[in-house]
Homo-oligomer: A and B are copies of this chain.
Amino acid sequence: MSQPITACVLIIGNEILSGRTQDINLNHIAKTLGGWGIQIHEARVIPDDVDVIVSAVNQSRARFDYVFTTGGIGPTHDDITAQCIAQAFNVELMMHPDIAARIKQRPAPDDVMASRLLMARVPTGATLIDNPTGGPQGFAMENVYVMAGIPIIMQAMLSTLAGQLNSGPVVLSRSIRAFLGESQIAGELGKIQAKYSQVDIGSYPFFSNERYGTTLVIRGSDTDLLEQVAQDIMTTVRAAGESPEDLGLGA
Protein backbone atom coordinates (compact mmCIF):
# COMPACT_ATOMS: atom_id res chain seq x y z
CA MET A 1 0.00 0.00 0.00
CA SER A 2 1.22 3.50 -0.79
CA GLN A 3 2.39 5.78 2.00
CA PRO A 4 -0.05 8.17 3.65
CA ILE A 5 0.29 11.77 2.48
CA THR A 6 0.02 14.27 5.34
CA ALA A 7 -1.01 17.90 5.57
CA CYS A 8 -1.13 20.71 8.08
CA VAL A 9 -3.60 23.61 7.89
CA LEU A 10 -2.60 27.04 9.19
CA ILE A 11 -5.60 29.27 9.83
CA ILE A 12 -4.24 32.80 10.01
CA GLY A 13 -6.31 35.53 11.63
CA ASN A 14 -6.94 37.37 14.89
CA GLU A 15 -10.67 37.23 14.16
CA ILE A 16 -10.77 33.45 14.65
CA LEU A 17 -8.82 33.61 17.94
CA SER A 18 -10.96 36.44 19.33
CA GLY A 19 -14.16 34.53 18.58
CA ARG A 20 -15.44 37.19 16.15
CA THR A 21 -15.46 34.62 13.33
CA GLN A 22 -16.33 30.92 13.43
CA ASP A 23 -13.85 29.08 11.21
CA ILE A 24 -15.44 26.76 8.66
CA ASN A 25 -12.42 26.44 6.35
CA LEU A 26 -10.71 23.60 8.22
CA ASN A 27 -13.74 21.38 7.87
CA HIS A 28 -14.04 22.00 4.13
CA ILE A 29 -10.31 21.48 3.54
CA ALA A 30 -10.35 18.27 5.61
CA LYS A 31 -13.21 16.75 3.62
CA THR A 32 -11.78 17.82 0.26
CA LEU A 33 -8.23 16.62 0.95
CA GLY A 34 -9.54 13.41 2.51
CA GLY A 35 -11.31 12.64 -0.76
CA TRP A 36 -8.00 13.18 -2.58
CA GLY A 37 -6.06 10.81 -0.31
CA ILE A 38 -4.38 13.49 1.82
CA GLN A 39 -4.79 13.34 5.61
CA ILE A 40 -4.69 16.43 7.81
CA HIS A 41 -2.52 15.60 10.83
CA GLU A 42 -2.64 19.00 12.50
CA ALA A 43 -4.27 22.40 12.22
CA ARG A 44 -3.13 25.57 13.94
CA VAL A 45 -5.01 28.82 14.37
CA ILE A 46 -2.47 31.63 14.65
CA PRO A 47 -2.60 35.42 14.95
CA ASP A 48 -1.62 38.12 12.43
CA ASP A 49 1.91 38.20 13.84
CA VAL A 50 4.97 37.93 11.58
CA ASP A 51 7.19 35.92 13.93
CA VAL A 52 4.44 33.45 14.82
CA ILE A 53 3.43 32.91 11.19
CA VAL A 54 7.01 32.51 9.92
CA SER A 55 7.81 30.02 12.66
CA ALA A 56 4.60 28.01 12.13
CA VAL A 57 5.19 27.86 8.36
CA ASN A 58 8.77 26.68 8.77
CA GLN A 59 7.89 24.08 11.40
CA SER A 60 4.97 22.65 9.48
CA ARG A 61 6.51 22.60 5.98
CA ALA A 62 9.34 20.48 7.37
CA ARG A 63 7.03 18.06 9.22
CA PHE A 64 4.22 17.47 6.73
CA ASP A 65 3.95 16.72 3.01
CA TYR A 66 1.72 19.73 2.44
CA VAL A 67 0.83 22.94 4.26
CA PHE A 68 -2.33 24.89 3.42
CA THR A 69 -2.83 28.40 4.77
CA THR A 70 -6.00 30.48 4.83
CA GLY A 71 -6.29 34.20 5.43
CA GLY A 72 -4.23 37.36 5.26
CA ILE A 73 -3.86 37.83 1.50
CA GLY A 74 -6.05 40.93 1.05
CA PRO A 75 -4.92 44.53 0.45
CA THR A 76 -4.97 45.97 3.99
CA HIS A 77 -2.23 46.48 6.59
CA ASP A 78 -3.30 43.34 8.50
CA ASP A 79 -2.76 41.14 5.41
CA ILE A 80 0.77 39.89 6.00
CA THR A 81 0.72 36.28 4.82
CA ALA A 82 2.65 36.82 1.54
CA GLN A 83 5.49 38.68 3.27
CA CYS A 84 5.62 36.02 6.00
CA ILE A 85 5.90 33.20 3.44
CA ALA A 86 8.67 35.11 1.64
CA GLN A 87 10.48 35.54 4.95
CA ALA A 88 10.02 31.86 5.82
CA PHE A 89 11.63 30.88 2.50
CA ASN A 90 14.21 33.69 2.72
CA VAL A 91 13.26 35.20 -0.65
CA GLU A 92 12.04 38.65 -1.73
CA LEU A 93 8.45 39.55 -2.55
CA MET A 94 7.85 40.30 -6.23
CA MET A 95 4.90 41.71 -8.20
CA HIS A 96 3.47 38.77 -10.15
CA PRO A 97 2.56 39.91 -13.68
CA ASP A 98 -0.41 37.52 -14.06
CA ILE A 99 -2.05 38.65 -10.81
CA ALA A 100 -1.33 42.30 -11.62
CA ALA A 101 -2.87 41.88 -15.09
CA ARG A 102 -6.02 40.41 -13.60
CA ILE A 103 -6.28 43.20 -11.02
CA LYS A 104 -5.81 45.87 -13.70
CA GLN A 105 -8.76 44.53 -15.73
CA ARG A 106 -11.03 46.42 -13.36
CA PRO A 107 -10.22 50.16 -13.51
CA ALA A 108 -9.79 52.21 -10.33
CA PRO A 109 -8.30 55.53 -9.18
CA ASP A 110 -4.51 55.43 -8.73
CA ASP A 111 -4.52 55.14 -4.93
CA VAL A 112 -7.12 52.35 -4.92
CA MET A 113 -5.23 50.50 -7.67
CA ALA A 114 -2.01 50.81 -5.67
CA SER A 115 -3.73 49.14 -2.72
CA ARG A 116 -5.22 46.43 -4.92
CA LEU A 117 -1.85 45.68 -6.44
CA LEU A 118 -0.55 44.74 -2.99
CA MET A 119 -2.48 41.52 -3.65
CA ALA A 120 -0.19 40.81 -6.64
CA ARG A 121 2.87 40.41 -4.41
CA VAL A 122 4.10 36.84 -4.05
CA PRO A 123 7.39 35.35 -2.84
CA THR A 124 9.90 35.05 -5.69
CA GLY A 125 9.57 31.58 -7.20
CA ALA A 126 5.91 31.09 -6.29
CA THR A 127 3.46 29.46 -8.69
CA LEU A 128 -0.17 30.56 -8.83
CA ILE A 129 -3.33 28.92 -7.52
CA ASP A 130 -6.16 29.98 -9.78
CA ASN A 131 -9.15 31.82 -8.36
CA PRO A 132 -12.32 30.90 -10.27
CA THR A 133 -14.25 33.73 -8.56
CA GLY A 134 -12.28 36.13 -10.78
CA GLY A 135 -10.36 37.83 -7.97
CA PRO A 136 -6.60 37.78 -7.41
CA GLN A 137 -4.99 34.33 -7.43
CA GLY A 138 -3.46 32.51 -4.48
CA PHE A 139 0.03 31.02 -4.69
CA ALA A 140 2.20 28.05 -3.76
CA MET A 141 5.81 28.03 -2.59
CA GLU A 142 7.20 24.47 -2.71
CA ASN A 143 4.78 22.47 -0.48
CA VAL A 144 3.01 25.52 1.02
CA TYR A 145 -0.33 26.50 -0.54
CA VAL A 146 -1.58 29.99 0.31
CA MET A 147 -5.30 30.66 -0.04
CA ALA A 148 -7.83 33.33 0.86
CA GLY A 149 -9.67 33.33 4.19
CA ILE A 150 -13.15 34.07 2.82
CA PRO A 151 -14.71 30.61 2.57
CA ILE A 152 -16.25 30.93 -0.88
CA ILE A 153 -12.96 32.16 -2.36
CA MET A 154 -10.86 29.59 -0.48
CA GLN A 155 -13.16 26.80 -1.72
CA ALA A 156 -12.85 28.02 -5.31
CA MET A 157 -9.05 28.14 -5.06
CA LEU A 158 -8.82 24.70 -3.45
CA SER A 159 -11.02 23.15 -6.13
CA THR A 160 -8.41 24.05 -8.77
CA LEU A 161 -5.84 21.81 -7.04
CA ALA A 162 -7.85 18.63 -7.76
CA GLY A 163 -5.55 16.13 -9.44
CA GLN A 164 -2.50 18.39 -8.94
CA LEU A 165 -1.24 16.99 -5.63
CA ASN A 166 0.43 13.76 -4.57
CA SER A 167 -2.05 11.42 -3.00
CA GLY A 168 -2.01 8.40 -0.77
CA PRO A 169 -4.69 5.84 -0.01
CA VAL A 170 -8.10 7.41 0.54
CA VAL A 171 -9.25 6.78 4.10
CA LEU A 172 -12.89 5.72 4.11
CA SER A 173 -15.19 5.67 7.08
CA ARG A 174 -17.90 3.20 7.94
CA SER A 175 -20.29 4.34 10.66
CA ILE A 176 -22.66 2.51 12.95
CA ARG A 177 -25.11 4.15 15.32
CA ALA A 178 -26.66 2.64 18.42
CA PHE A 179 -28.77 3.88 21.32
CA LEU A 180 -26.22 2.72 23.86
CA GLY A 181 -24.06 4.67 26.25
CA GLU A 182 -20.38 4.50 25.40
CA SER A 183 -19.64 2.63 28.64
CA GLN A 184 -21.99 -0.21 27.64
CA ILE A 185 -19.66 -1.25 24.83
CA ALA A 186 -16.35 0.39 25.75
CA GLY A 187 -14.75 -2.88 26.88
CA GLU A 188 -15.67 -4.90 23.78
CA LEU A 189 -14.87 -1.97 21.51
CA GLY A 190 -11.36 -1.76 22.94
CA LYS A 191 -10.89 -5.46 22.18
CA ILE A 192 -12.06 -4.97 18.59
CA GLN A 193 -9.67 -2.03 18.15
CA ALA A 194 -6.80 -4.14 19.57
CA LYS A 195 -7.66 -6.93 17.11
CA TYR A 196 -7.70 -4.68 14.04
CA SER A 197 -4.74 -2.33 14.24
CA GLN A 198 -5.04 -1.23 10.58
CA VAL A 199 -8.25 0.68 11.28
CA ASP A 200 -9.04 3.50 13.68
CA ILE A 201 -12.25 3.12 15.63
CA GLY A 202 -13.73 6.31 17.06
CA SER A 203 -16.64 6.49 19.48
CA TYR A 204 -18.80 9.65 19.49
CA PRO A 205 -21.68 10.05 21.93
CA PHE A 206 -24.83 11.89 20.84
CA PHE A 207 -28.21 12.85 22.29
CA SER A 208 -31.22 12.43 20.00
CA ASN A 209 -34.96 11.77 20.50
CA GLU A 210 -34.43 12.19 24.25
CA ARG A 211 -32.01 9.27 24.30
CA TYR A 212 -28.26 8.93 24.55
CA GLY A 213 -26.48 7.04 21.84
CA THR A 214 -23.07 6.44 20.34
CA THR A 215 -21.84 6.67 16.78
CA LEU A 216 -18.98 4.28 16.07
CA VAL A 217 -16.78 5.32 13.18
CA ILE A 218 -14.32 2.88 11.64
CA ARG A 219 -11.67 4.52 9.44
CA GLY A 220 -9.34 2.71 7.09
CA SER A 221 -8.45 2.19 3.44
CA ASP A 222 -9.42 -1.48 3.00
CA THR A 223 -13.16 -1.84 2.36
CA ASP A 224 -13.19 -5.59 3.09
CA LEU A 225 -11.56 -4.95 6.45
CA LEU A 226 -13.98 -2.11 7.22
CA GLU A 227 -16.86 -4.51 6.53
CA GLN A 228 -15.38 -7.16 8.83
CA VAL A 229 -14.88 -4.69 11.69
CA ALA A 230 -18.39 -3.29 11.14
CA GLN A 231 -19.84 -6.79 11.50
CA ASP A 232 -17.90 -7.35 14.74
CA ILE A 233 -19.15 -4.04 16.14
CA MET A 234 -22.76 -4.78 15.15
CA THR A 235 -22.50 -8.16 16.89
CA THR A 236 -21.27 -6.37 20.01
CA VAL A 237 -24.15 -3.88 19.89
CA ARG A 238 -26.67 -6.71 19.56
CA ALA A 239 -25.05 -8.55 22.46
CA ALA A 240 -25.60 -5.39 24.54
CA GLY A 241 -29.31 -5.61 23.74
CA GLU A 242 -29.68 -2.89 21.10
CA SER A 243 -30.24 -2.82 17.32
CA PRO A 244 -27.30 -1.30 15.44
CA GLU A 245 -28.09 1.16 12.67
CA ASP A 246 -25.61 0.77 9.80
CA LEU A 247 -24.91 4.21 8.37
CA GLY A 248 -22.78 2.62 5.67
CA LEU A 249 -19.64 3.73 3.93
CA GLY A 250 -18.73 7.36 3.34
CA ALA A 251 -15.56 9.04 2.22
Contacts and interface: CB of A to CB of B under 8 A. Distances in A.
A121 to B, nearest CB: 13
Interface string A182-199: 111011011001100000
Contact of A184 (B18, B77, B112, B182): B112
Contacts of A113: 183
Q: Chain A interface secondary structure, helix, strand, loop or mixed?
A: mixed
A76 B194 CA distance: 12
A16 B20 contact: no
Interface string A65-78: 00000000011111
A171 B18 contact: yes
Nearest to A181: B112
A42 B42 contact: no
A80 to B, nearest CB: 12
Interface string A13-55: 0111111111110111111001000011111111110001000
A31 B19 contact: yes
Given A34-B19, A189-B77, A44 B47 contact: no
Nearest to A193: B77
Nearest to A74: B182
A19 B27 CA distance: 5
28 contacts: A15-B217, A16-B30, A17-B30, A17-B39, A18-B40, A18-B173, A19-B26, A19-B27, A23-B27, A26-B45, A42-B45, A42-B47, A42-B52, A43-B44, A43-B45, A74-B203, A75-B182, A75-B183, A75-B186, A76-B182, A76-B186, A76-B203, A77-B186, A77-B193, A112-B183, A115-B183, A115-B186, A150-B205
Interface of A: 14-24, 26-31, 34, 39-48, 52, 74-79, 108, 111-116, 118, 150, 171, 173, 181-184, 186-187, 189-190, 193-194, 200-205, 217, 219
